[in-house]
Chains A and B, each alone.
Chain A
């Protein structure tokens, strides 16, 4: 039989080809779409991107542009749900009714927001430290400034956690591989200590002022203000006052005529503002972004505020101004005459509030139909120049700390340090600006405290401070039970409402958490 060499040769050839092609590095594929921890955050610009992303936590998880203001407004009875809110926002409505369940998603998302800020901050601190260790120097200060922002925002997050939850897990490094199931801190003081330390680092690393392109980032003044606030909240009045005093040369109250700039879409990050969450509508923004998630949807940014849409009577109309609050603006002057605070006109529409709207619009002014509408907010809306918000097209920043608040907090320090005249001076500064009469009489410490409480309430109404104030003054239960009795026919508040429950989502996932008493906190 003839021997055919061809098939044998062919097999050998093909075998060689298919085997030789199996290169050793065949499997060494790098990700063509996405950078990773190792190959990113290694340059100052990349590290600054890392610090920018921390601010995004404010948007995420339905927070600053949506449910965070609603939550603290209803807890202080500074906003009430309308029928659409009751039907569509049961979680915030539950808080209004003082039902604090550990399944409440608003509380859960607030928790998640804080820890997201902590993770994103830890990433910047970790990679920033690596950069400085590697390069020795940071000439342009971009890395150290970014680390300052990370310290500030991490401090802010731990401040929230310490104040609302007390004992919480502490995560201070990016690598948590040995602390995944983190236990709760031994005490709230440990958590406060982290925040205090972070604000101090931030004070030294952050600039007092940013260049025009970076305005809106945290400043050393913001760190000082929050450090002072932390001391006040932990009853360290001397330390607090020192911080607040350091701010007097750097911030000032806006003139009364510019009061709206503290809440509006223009003149943001002004002389009165220490720190604010930035919101901006751009054409092409993804319109629902801020009330769901801002990141990752088709790469379209969602940087606008949802609040104006939610609080406007001819927008979504979810939250109206409670009639009980109207009465707070009427009190007696030092002569014993009934006095209506000028801020009533600035804070809400209806009754003793503003009775015309669109005063700064070519279409206005229009009479406010109080009989049909009742009371709605004015100070946080844009109804003086904008008829509607046209699909969440609002650019109002959320001011987390402004100088009027600092002055009143300083006043509180002085009061607690028994400097009643000093306290009244600071209160009067705030009143003078807005054209309210000033207190000239001599007051006892208790009387001064009552006036301070009123001042904070009227100056800061709708700015999510009253719940905090009542809570830290330890008068939340007694004060809010009068109001819940009136609203619901029964007192709803008890001592346990001083703390938020640890979210069930954390209890279900964090095996090292430790005991959470009584399904509470």
Chain B
């Protein structure tokens, strides 16, 4: 129809031919666009090298890589010279510019199709010819913000196929229908603009350089974007390809081993060492908004992650950035037709390891021996043959194969004035341990609008729903400790499960299957984050950015407990507990940036503030006990019910910040940051802290003497200094808080609960900000046309006034029960020193494209001073000058006393030594002196007399027996594609770390009537059968304290893990397009696949805080995961 209409309205002749040509072009454009509108999802960049390639070959290669179709006539290419290219990840338009540079050819891109045209002379013939009276000639010049011409921009009349390319001097002209007013102008390195043509036919167009994250070498930094080459601080970008198939839902795991200087241990992240005893989690900023929780970001939505590591990069976040900053950018819509991506994934997970425990016969032998050595006999039941039967393998009962399924769908697209990105994700699954299951729904809605040339606004909303149900067994320990002869189920107990009888079995353990089955917890949580931002450019160079957001959650937890008897003769009543919590945290930030370039001087100044107020949170908990009728589980129907807690809170923060960036001649760079923070966590006199930083960089590769070497594509030296602060101590710790919770005493003739009140902790109103001064220097190098990139950095971080609740004298009387009530003090200073190396090599061999990236970090931690002048000991974790934070403090085990003669000999020597020191000791006093203890017998462990006084004493013979802060961290990623196949391999490891097995007493210590690991088979049995010489005798109650903290509990924590392995296969483009898809990729993926370690427990990784890091309690191990998936693009 269109064709017919054009025929009718066209006069014959030359014009006719042109029209026919134009119509052909249009039809082809339209057809191709329709056919291949879906052919997307491939790269927008081109990697190509070769000598003297014909253009035709170049185009077909580009098509393969990008999915763009080429339209050209053979005649056009007949005279074209072959080209020599070597480009990596170059934008399509740039490649085309390069190829056609010396030809009389031009190109037009429309809807995934590249049309090669003859380069036209001015005035050029219009592409679409319409009657002359409906066209007007528009002439223009395109310049950038500095007034320089923008060459080779493409200019299209919006809504038509009328297009042209500007000349090198930025001049263009075209014929524009009078009823059209908008030109779409694009050029490499500049933001696309839509320019409105007024009544004048002469126009001046100013294009803005790409500074937003869209540019490939643009890096998101705090309150702004910088070119990577202009960075002065330490910023690492996580290569999104290395993340692979994102099964793992948390950020910490995504980062593990990917970035030098970042130490991830079971979900907690430490950047460049342990600088504090407190929370050292880095600040997470999602799309520029502070205080978001990573847990609610669907990993499939992540576009980019950057880690800011040194003070220069983080100082703009002040105290919040003290532990480093992780900037997460989520995906956004891109210019173009709507795209839909779908990802299905289905997986299983297993436990990577089970421990070896005693069988029933070995168990009874151990119990009998242990009781006899304690001077006791076993019960008739334990002496009978009935119990020497292996009935239950408790680990098999507790572990299971877990399943998970997920689907993620996202929609995106955009026009020059607006883009959108919408994603939905659903995931459900269960745990490798009986009990828990979960389902989770995530969503994100992002819109960016360019409302006016001076105004951009955007919104970003994320909603997450998660429900968890079911309980894991009460303690992992019971899974090891339960005797093998107890059945899982036992119908003679009214609650239906096998249990231990204190009188006859002598144990106290709880059936782990029963404890999981009889309690029914659930947690439902809804998280929300909504943001809106606006960017106003009132005049050239000045940008005002304002953003307002709110994040928070609401959750409801409920626990129903069945009535049961735990085996100790006590009936636990049924009960129902419910709690509900919410959090609402608004934040407003605004900043003003002014940039200016004066010949060789380039500077920008930014200043802004953060304002957080009326952030509030709270919760209540209610409980009911003893339900006669359990059909309705509602606290209201309980025989006794109570409000057990109410909690309210508010938080506020206020900050001012500023930054100056200056560069001279694109060679010398300077950044100065300052931020002032106020925190209500300190007493009013100590609330404000100011945190400055300075950084410099020198782009050596811009210097001629380096250029002349022709070795370096990049060579940049940078150094920084700065201070950051930390207030992560919890609210109102500076006050002596009143304690009334459960403080009741029954007074009265008729006893009545009487409320009491006291204080639990001392006030600490003189505490002030903890601060870290960091110095860093680094060298960035690029070789071989940037195929090889190396970065080396050195850092020193001095932390001062570390805030910590120092264990203070018990005789101060604070705390209650097991809580210590220690006041927070500015307790210590420590230094973290280290260096990082990062290298990446990308290349291709034939069809094989590959990249190998590796990183290595070496860091040492040392305490330099103590605020109160004394070391602190927290059970085993000690902090003292000239040692790492929280090292293990204990005895050195030297082997068992094989015979009583050895014990007697040691005691004799001890007495001789004591007599030497104090000749006046009476024989009676001397008889009370022992090498270790009066109760030490043959078969007990011998510990080292470190101070050489002939005896082992508590205060003199404990020493540093290990430390868990790893000295060396490394990661290795390999990503490769071969034709339609892709593969991702990732190894990660640490060395120089020790672990302290806190479960030792329970599973190896042979101190109580409970099953043990087979470790104890090597124990001392008798003088004739002394075992392996290290494992002591079994004796209930551990009278000789064989289980005191010692090297027996310390093991190497080094490991190397194959964290991830995945392979994918993408169906050929023509096959997928025939099916109506743009992309189909099938993949297999596994995580936590292999662990190489000497550690004998489940897994060398175990969640912990800074001070008790490395204290491995017996806990359920992380799972090993396998999954299959399919990614589909529409």
Write the residues of chain A forming the contact surface with B, with a CB cutoff of 8 angstroms.
4, 6-8, 10-11, 14-15, 18-19, 21-23, 26-29, 31-38, 40-41, 46, 49-56, 60-61, 83-84, 86-88, 90, 93-94, 97, 99, 101-103, 108, 111-112, 115-120, 123, 168-169, 171, 176, 180-182, 212-217, 268-269, 278-280, 282-284, 287, 292-303, 315-317, 388, 390-392, 395, 488, 492, 494-496, 503-511, 513, 516, 519
Q: Is B706 an interface residue (CB 8 A)?
A: no
Whether a CB of chain A sits under 8 angstroms from the CB of B544 is: yes
Q: Which residues of A contact B935 (CB under 8 A)?
A: 97, 99
Pair B745/A26 contact, Cβ less than 8 Å: no
Partner of B814, one of A119, A296, A317, A388: A119
Tell me, in angstroms, the Cα distance from A50 to B743 when the chains sit together. Answer: 10
Cα–Cα, bound, A117→B811 (Å): 10
Which of B150-158, B513-521, B638-646, B694-702 has 4 or more CB atoms under 8 Å from chain A?
A: B638-646
Contact, CB under 8 Å: B810 / A505: yes
Minimum Cβ distance to chain A for residue B1000 (Å): 15
Docked complex Cα distance between A15 and B954 (Å): 64
- B379 interface contact, C-beta 8 A: yes
| Cβ contacts under 8 Å, A268 to chain B | 751
With CB as the reference atom, state the residue of chain A lying closest to B889. Answer: A508
Instruction: Identify the closest chain B residue to A184 (Cβ).
Output: B811
CB distance from B270 to the nearest CB of A (A): 27
Closest 9 CB pairs of A and B: A293-B817, A119-B813, A53-B756, A52-B756, A284-B640, A510-B809, A90-B1037, A53-B758, A280-B746
- Would A32 and B752 count as touching, CB distance under 8 A? no
Query: Which residues of B, 200-254, contact A by the 8 Å Cβ criterion?
Result: none
Smallest CB–CB gap between A25 and chain B, Å?
9
Q: Nearest-CB distance from A409 to chain B (Å)?
A: 27
C-alpha gap A65/B173 in the complex (Å):
96
Binds A, one of B288-296, B732-740, B845-853, B1080-1088: B732-740
State how many angstroms separate the Cβ of B378 from the closest Cβ of chain A: 8
Instruction: Give bound CA distance, A33 to B810, whole Å.
Output: 27
Q: Are A295 and B817 interface neighbours, CB within 8 A?
A: yes
Given A33-B648, A298-B742, A7 and B679 contact (CB-CB distance below 8 Å): no
Tell whether, in the assembled complex, residue B506 and residue A83 are in contact, meaning their CB atoms are under 8 Å apart.
yes
A278 contacts across to B, CB distance below 8 A: 745-747, 751
Residue B755 interfacial (CB < 8 Å): yes
Q: How far is the CB of B920 from chain A (nearest CB, A)?
A: 14
24 interchain pairs, CB-CB under 8 A: A11-B536, A18-B588, A26-B654, A27-B684, A34-B732, A34-B738, A36-B763, A49-B740, A50-B757, A86-B374, A87-B1037, A94-B1037, A212-B750, A283-B626, A287-B572, A299-B642, A299-B741, A300-B742, A303-B745, A392-B570, A507-B954, A507-B955, A508-B807, A509-B807
Q: What is the CB-to-nearest-CB distance from A198 to chain B, in angstroms, rounded to a whole number? A: 15
One of A23, A51, A302, A519 near B955 (C-beta < 8 A): A519
Which residue in chain B gives the minimum CB-CB distance to A98? Answer: B934
Cβ contact within 8 Å between A27 and B678: yes
The chain B residue with its CB closest to the CB of A304 is B746
Min CB distance, B627 to chain A, in Å?
A: 13
In the bound complex, residues from chain B placing their C-beta under 8 Å from that of A84 are: 502-503, 506
Minimum CB–CB distance from A374 to chain B (whole Å) comes to 13
Residue of B nearest to A117 (CB): B813
Contact in complex: A284, B536 (CB < 8 Å):
no
Q: Is the CB of A38 within 8 A of B735?
A: yes
Which residues of A lie under 8 Å from residue B844 when comparing CB positions? none
Q: How far is the CA of A86 from the CA of B1035 in the complex (A)?
A: 11
B665 within 8 A of A: no
Interface centre among A115, A182, A315 (most CB of B within 10 A): A115
Would A83 and B379 count as touching, CB distance under 8 A? Answer: yes
B1039 at the interface (CB under 8 A from A): yes
Q: Is residue B754 contacting chain A, with contact meaning CB distance below 8 A?
A: yes
Q: Does B375 contact A (CB under 8 A)?
A: yes
B757–A87 CB distance below 8 A = no
| Contact yes or no, A176 B954, CB < 8 A | no
Contact of B1039 (CB < 8 Å), options: A41, A94, A506: A94
Contact code string B1014-1049 (vs A, CB < 8 Å = 1, else 0)? 000000000000000000000011110100100000
Enumerate chain B interface residues (CB-CB to A < 8 A).
371, 374-376, 379, 452, 454-455, 502-503, 506-508, 536-539, 544, 546, 568-572, 577, 588, 590, 592, 609, 611, 613, 621, 623, 625-626, 639-640, 642-654, 678-680, 684, 687, 731-732, 735-759, 762-763, 807-819, 868-870, 872-873, 924-925, 927-928, 933-935, 953-955, 1007-1009, 1036-1039, 1041, 1044
Q: How far is the CA of A18 from the CA of B609 in the complex (A)?
A: 8
Inter-chain CA distance A508–B639, complex, in Å, is: 47
Whether A115 contacts B753 by the Cβ 8 Å rule is no
CB < 8 Å neighbour of B817 from A36, A61, A217 = A61
Q: How far is the CA of A390 from the CA of B571 in the complex (A)?
A: 8
Return the contact of A18 from the options B590, B623, B743 (Cβ within 8 A).
B590
Which interface residue of A32, A111, A315, A506 has the most chain B CB atoms within 10 A? A32
Report which of B455, B544, B592, B1008 forms a contact with A88, defined as CB distance below 8 A: B1008
Contacts of A8 in B (CB 8 A): 538-539
- Chain A proximity of B510: nearest CB distance (Å): 13
Q: Are B811 and A50 in contact (CB under 8 A)?
A: no
B809 lies within 8 A of A181 (CB): yes
Taking CB atoms, residues of chain B closer than 8 Å to A293 are 816-818
With A4-B454, A29-B652 already in contact, 11 other A-B pairs whose C-beta atoms are closer than 8 Å: A27-B678, A31-B735, A41-B738, A52-B754, A56-B756, A119-B812, A119-B814, A171-B813, A294-B742, A299-B642, A300-B644
Do B738 and A83 touch (CB < 8 A)?
A: no
Known A-B contacts A27-B687, A83-B376, A503-B810; the reply to A101 vs B737 at CB < 8 A is no
Give CA–CA (A23, B809) in the complex, Å.
41
> CA separation between A506 and B955, bound complex, in Å?
12
Is the beta-carbon distance between A103 and B1041 smaller than 8 angstroms?
yes
Supposing A56-B743, A90-B1037 touch, asked if A296 and B817 sit within 8 A by C-beta, the answer is yes
Q: Nearest chain B CB to A312's CB is how many angstroms away? A: 10
Residue of B538, B743, B811 most packed against chain A (CB within 10 A): B811
Partner of B746, one of A11, A216, A390: A216
**Cα-based distance from A451 to B1009 in the complex (angstroms):** 44
- Residue on A nearest B749 in the bound complex, by CB: A212
Give the residues in chain B near A56, CB-CB below 8 Å. 743-745, 756, 758, 816
| Cα A11 to Cα B544 with chains together (Å) | 7
Q: Which residues of A contact B732 (CB under 8 A)?
A: 31, 34, 36
Q: Given that A86-B376, A176-B812, A494-B928 are known contacts, is A303 also in contact with B744, CB under 8 Å in the complex? A: yes
Q: Is the CB of B954 within 8 A of A53?
A: no
User: A301 touching B570 by the CB < 8 A rule?
Assistant: no
Query: Given A83-B379, A102-B954, A300-B742, A283–B640 Cβ distance below 8 Å?
Result: yes
**In the complex, what residue of chain A is closest to B813 when comparing beta carbons?**
A119
- Distance between Cα atoms of A296 and B758 in the complex (Å): 12
> Within the assembled complex, what's the spacing in Å between the Cα atoms of A49 and B756?
4
Complex Cα gap A494–B922 (Å): 13
* Closest residue of A by beta carbon distance from B377: A83
Chain A residues with Cβ below 8 Å from B502 are 84, 88, 316-317
A87/B754 in contact, CB under 8 A: no
With A37-B759, A49-B756 as given contacts, are A295 and B816 in contact (CB-CB < 8 Å)?
yes
For A86, the chain B residues whose CB sits under 8 A away are 374, 376, 1036-1037
Our pick among B538, B639, B737, B742 for the contact of A296 (Cβ within 8 Å) is: B742
* Chain A residues, CB < 8 A from B809: 169, 180-182, 506, 509-510, 513
Given the complex of chains A and B, what is the CA–CA distance between A182 and B808 in angstroms? 11
CA–CA, A161 and B639, complex, Å: 44
- Within the complex, the shortest CB–CB distance from A469 to chain B, in Å, comes to 23
How far does the alpha carbon of A287 sit from the alpha carbon of B563 in the complex, in Å? 14
By beta carbon, the residue of chain A nearest B1040 is: A99
Distance of A491 from chain B, by nearest CB (Å): 10
Q: Check B546–A14 contact: CB distance below 8 A.
A: yes
Knowing A49-B740, A87-B1036, A90-B1038, the reply to whether A301 touches B747 (Cβ < 8 A) is: no
User: Closest Cβ of chain A: how far from B571's Cβ, in Å?
Assistant: 6
The answer for the CA separation of A297 and B817 in the assembled complex, in Å, is 11
- B753 near A282: Cβ-Cβ < 8 Å: yes
